[in-house]
Amino acid sequence: MLSSQLRDAGWEVFAPSRSELDVRCAKSVETFFENLDRIDALVNNAGITRDSLFARQSEEDFDEVVTTNLKGAHLCSQAAAIPMMRQRDGQIINIGSYSALHPPMGQAAYAAAKAGLIGLTKSYAKELGKRNIRVNCVLPGFLETKMTASLSEEATEAARKRHTLGRFNTKEEAAGFIVNLLSMNHISGQVFQLDSRA
């Protein structure tokens, strides 16, 4: 959805699969980005969940979530920032989660990784601002995606009831917000929550 809206807005989009870019592996990230001459925007949206009560969560699952969701964004941001600094222009958008602010039970690893993304966003914004690189974090809200498809109907309805408007955000509106944000040149270091949970 985001890729198609970006293309419609005139962007050339690279949306690599994990076989093309494994964000968990520094070498894979380096190889992918060294072949790009110019990078105008990076959207860090790789994410996984391994939900479990923290007392039962395996070290392997915890590490996998943090490595993919947090370290992966860090590695890609480092690689993308190099050409952006040369250009003295660019944007990085981290895709966060409401769970970073209000985590449910069983999402300790996911919430910690997404909270870390907010910290990275604000830190990067301060470091890169002098090179005209904007860094923001978008919390798209509860979206009906592959990641949420496995939730029970009861869990989905309970989540819906926490929204003051009684409805979820959509993939189309979340993508549209990101495209619009990429057109703005004076916003950085911000966290945008795109739903109606107070």
Active-site hit among 32, 33, 98, 110: 110
Name the one residue in this structure whose structure tokens are 């699952």: 61
- The span from the first CA to the last CA of the chain, in angstroms, equals 26
192 sits in which H/E element:
strand 191-193
Instruction: Assign 187 to helix, strand or coil.
Output: coil
| DSSP assigned state of 40 | S
Instruction: Assign 191 to helix, strand or coil.
Output: strand
Instruction: Assign 147 to helix, strand or coil.
Output: coil
Is the C-alpha dihedral spanning 167, 171, 176, 182 positive or negative? positive
How far is residue 103 CA from its own chain's centroid? 16
CA-based max dimension of the chain? 51
Catalytic residue at 124? no
Q: Are 111 and 99 in contact (CB under 8 A)?
A: yes
The alpha-helical segments, DSSP class H, found in 20-151 are 26-33, 59-66, 72-87, 108-128
Residues labelled catalytic: 110
